[in-house]
Amino acid sequence: MVLVAAVVLAVLSLVAPTAASAATGDGPCTPDASTGCVLGTLKQADGEPAVGVQLTVEGAGETVQVATDDDGAWSVPITTAGAYTVTIDPQTLPEGETLRDPSTTSRTVNALLNSQSRVLFALGEPTSSGPTATPTSGASAGPTAAPGDEPGTDAPASSGSGVTGKRVAQQLANGLVFGLLLALASVGLSLIYGTTGLSSFAHGEQVTLGAVLAYTFVQTLGMNVWVAALVATLCGAATGWLQDAGLWRPLRRRRVGLTQQMIVTIGLSMVLQYLYQFIYGGGRLRIDTSNPDPVRIGPVTLTVQGLVSAGIAIVVLAGVAVFLLYSRTGRATRAVSDNPALAAASGIGVERVIRIVWIGAAGLAALGGVLVGLYFQSTAWNMGGTVLLLMFAAVTLGGLGTAWGALAGSIVIGVVAEMSSLVIPSDMKYAGALLILILVLLVRPQGILGRRDRIG
């Protein structure tokens, strides 16, 4: 199975440089193996684009001047990795606009090839500090940008001081969206545990697989983003079938213990992670390289991609709920999760149910990877490993083996992670979510919706 996956991904990757290098012209800079991008977007204090602002990019012995376009965006292609200094000309700002940090008109970023290095200058009422240059990746990859950041804008979400009602609403909305996307992968992980008792550490790589396949389909084959998301989801579901048919069912038939199977999942996770890194490199990947369109809903600002991703997640999760509650196979799945031996004695095909669960869980994880990559504007070879701990936290918090618990736990983790950045540094927000997990389990060990086990 691993060899087949390696061959498929290797073949797809062979044509990636050709497709990437074909993206030339006067449009936005598109990174590839020989090109990187230094870029940014300037927004006025009221959120409107700052048009015609002059910036100078210096580095690698060259100086390039650029102006923001009608969307407030600017970009400069580079062919040599290294440190680049971006200087903004305050005299060219729109009338009445000032830098939020007037003392800093230059920022330096370490730019890489096949990546995007975003430089941020915020406009608005002057404060004591301003945003910094933020490297992101060009084909772009994992949850490196916080969900609280508006992708493609120059006003990243801050943490700590300055808690306002608008910020609280923004972070709450970000947390709900992130929780929904996390739930797509967590529900499948919970169903696998419920029907087989296996904690799959390779489930995060199913998330990565969906993201990198979508990147390949969009950037190499020129597919529409949402068509690529559908195809990547179907491919992810197919790998679930391959995994169970080629690996997990033979291990179950040989009565290999759950501990040994769990160790196999760890090894499989490592193999797939470094296979992704070998094929796609260690840089960040962007599934969609266009600038996201912001959407304002009252005090909250999201992107079109974020809203569509959240809508897709809600529809899919509702479909999973209907499947589990009202379909014959769904009822059989719940029966196997409750008591596999009794389900088999009742005439339910346990192996068939497990196979369906593996297919569905892998497909959900792949879809979650695509949507997370679009939402964060970034994906990478280790993206699954980044979110795996959060998935386990969500499943454990909600109640092991229950789909509803995984959904509830994911929403809690997403909201707590985002809201905690109001009072602690953004880099520590996931640690705050895991602290909540520990505290809840101290009070309710079975999780939010789990059932207390009877001992003795």
The mean pLDDT of the chain is 81
pTM of structure: 0.69
pLDDT higher than threshold 50 for residue 135: no
AA identity, residue 55: L
| Domain span at 434 | 166-443
Residue 162 confidence (pLDDT):
59
Average pLDDT over residues 269-288: 89
List beta partners, residue 40: 74
Does residue 123 sit in the same domain as residue 247? Answer: no
Structural domain count, the chain: 2
Does residue 178 sit in the same domain as residue 108? Answer: no
Does residue 80 sit in the same domain as residue 181? Answer: no
Does residue 115 sit in the same domain as residue 191? Answer: no
The CATH code of the domain that includes 253 is 1.10.3470
pLDDT higher than threshold 90 for residue 71: no
**Three-state helix/strand/coil letters over 214-247:** HHHHHHCCCCCHHHHHHHHHHHHHHHHHHHHHHH
The CATH code of the domain that includes 124 is 2.60.40.10
Does residue 289 sit in the same domain as residue 390? Answer: yes
- Comparing 181 with 284, the larger pLDDT belongs to 181
Q: Is residue 279 part of a domain?
A: yes
Cβ-in-10-Å burial (0-12, 13-18, 19+) of 31 comes to buried
Q: Is residue 28 part of a domain?
A: no
Neighbour count for residue 456 (Cβ, 10 Å): 2
User: pLDDT-derived band of residue 147, with 50, 70 and 90 as boundaries?
Assistant: very low
CB 209 within 8 A of CB 239: yes
Does residue 56 sit in the same domain as residue 187? Answer: no
Does residue 354 sit in the same domain as residue 429? Answer: yes
Q: Which of 118, 137, 156 is the last residue of a domain?
A: 137
* Separation of alpha carbons 210 and 220, rounded Å: 15
Does residue 243 sit in the same domain as residue 385? Answer: yes
Residue 62 confidence (pLDDT):
87
Q: Is residue 242 part of a domain?
A: yes
Average pLDDT over residues 231-235: 96
Radius of gyration of the chain (CA): 23
User: pLDDT-derived band of residue 158, with 50, 70 and 90 as boundaries?
Assistant: very low
Does residue 218 sit in the same domain as residue 172? Answer: yes
Neighbour count for residue 188 (Cβ, 10 Å): 33
pLDDT higher than threshold 80 for residue 129: no
Does residue 253 sit in the same domain as residue 116? Answer: no
pLDDT higher than threshold 50 for residue 208: yes
User: pLDDT-derived band of residue 435, with 50, 70 and 90 as boundaries?
Assistant: confident
φ/ψ of 298, rounded to 5, equals: 65, -130
pLDDT higher than threshold 50 for residue 67: yes
Q: Is residue 1 part of a domain?
A: no
pLDDT higher than threshold 80 for residue 32: no
DSSP character string of 376-398:
HT-B-TTHHHHHHHHHHHHHHHH
